Structure 1
């Protein structure tokens, strides 16, 4: 991001110098005008394609520069069975949400975490389950560098199979013999805006990879064979998810569930 702005600024300086020369020569004036027009088109295109990150960059680097921002980076599975979405009950928060969870980091990440002054999350107690979660606190001035580290995929978990296995196989919801492996593809990466969250009493940003689960015929039938009502899981329509479960009396649906539809 920083390098891109330096590049654009350098081009504009060159164009300005050419325009000065152009005052003495129509030839240089014509060239500088063409270059400036091209640069404007490039900048507009760049801003349009990266608007979300530019806004994130400005807010984190300037407004929240010295404040810690809570960062939670996860992966979510979109599991659609016959026009309904399969959700599971959360272990920590009493709500229905997509199968998935927070990515883990590996021990080799300690160096970059020290460099970026990353702190552990202070909301959820660190235990065997939450140890090494990518649910941390990062100063605004380092947020873009932290996101860049995550996007490179180094020294961190890159698979979604762990949470799938824990939530659906170990729990006994689905039979292990029909799920010796899973196939899934990345739909999108959702980077939410920084917002103050009253529940965590902090500025927070949520990032999630949305995966589409590609089921075999046997695996699809295993989902279809589940009962339609259970305390552990739920099949929900798109309308119900958009309303976060307000149309029914049981547990609510997590806000981030909307990202999967």
Structure 2
């Protein structure tokens, strides 16, 4: 049974049971044995069952997601499920960013995950892939609000989707020749956290009303050879038209180079929480 159907069922049972108990204890003066015993027991059970059901839904999805099902189920939502990489030179506290391919700004290495072929998001969630994207497997799409709880639950399960972070690292740093393939045949990462922007009222693209964006944040653990190569890159050029090394303070200000160059707003999510 769907979440929306469960909510309707729990609501009906709670109202019916509460009305009966009100009738039994407030209105009736001399109820018969059937009403006093059997029917009252069922009514109390109905109240308990409904409250337990609502609590389970709240624990699983939260009120925000329940509102998706009940208040605006067909509202158009933009969804982006992605990962960001924190690449930092220890000691100097410099963060390596790359030039955005779509927007004139510097930002963390990363991007949206991709779905595997055995998961059809167009059928399951009525997903509409963004028109400016050529890869239909990208987890960046428009859908209806009623699917958001299911999407979040599916994403966090890790099933039927890309789980690693190597692809974007390779595309943005190796294939662009910023870093060498010889020293970066693989990377070791630590998962830091997942940051969520749930059902924010935004209209950035077309006729969508809300945005739901999830970022998995990872820290790249550099080997000694990898750190040497990045430090060499830093010493040669701290800022080019492909990459930049910036401080945490510049990331918070969302600009560097005497405030002339923009840093992506989402970059701050890669900083460590103090």
- The answer, yes or no, to whether TM exceeds 0.5 is yes
User: Please, which of 124, 127, 137 is the counterpart of residue 115 of structure 1?
Assistant: 124
Q: Residues 58-137 of structure 1 correspond to what in structure 2 (within 5 A)?
A: 58-82=66-90, 83-110=93-120, 113-122=122-131, 125-127=132-134, 130-137=135-142
1:139 aligns with 2:147: no
Q: Which has the larger radius of gyration?
A: 2
d(CA) in 1 for partners of 2:86 and 2:226?
A: 15
Residue number in structure 1 paired with 2:223: 216
d(CA) in 2 for partners of 1:185 and 1:113?
A: 32
d(CA) in 2 for partners of 1:56 and 1:247?
A: 40
What's the TM-score once normalised by structure 1's chain length?
0.76
Structure 1 residue runs of 5 or longer lacking an equivalent are 21-35
Indicate the SS of the match to 1:180: coil
Q: CA deviation at 1:246?
A: 6.5
Residue deviations 1:161-192, cap 9 Å, x none? 00000100010000111011111021111111
Q: CA deviation at 1:155?
A: 1.6
Contact 2:197 2:211 in 1 (8 A): no
d(CA) in 2 for partners of 1:5 and 1:219?
A: 53
Structure 2 residue runs of 5 or longer lacking an equivalent are 19-23, 25-47
How many residues are aligned here? Answer: 236
Q: Residues 182-261 of structure 1 correspond to what in structure 2 (within 5 A)?
A: 182-201=187-206, 202=208, 203-226=210-233, 227-245=237-255, 248-261=258-271
What is the alpha-carbon root mean square deviation over aligned residues? 3.5
Instruction: Give the stretch that moved more between structures: 160-169 or 145-154.
Output: 145-154
Q: CA deviation at 1:248?
A: 2.8
Q: CA deviation at 1:55?
A: 4.1
What's the TM-score once normalised by structure 2's chain length?
0.73
Q: CA deviation at 1:198?
A: 4.1
Contact 1:84 1:236 in 2 (8 A): yes
Residue number in structure 2 paired with 1:152: 157
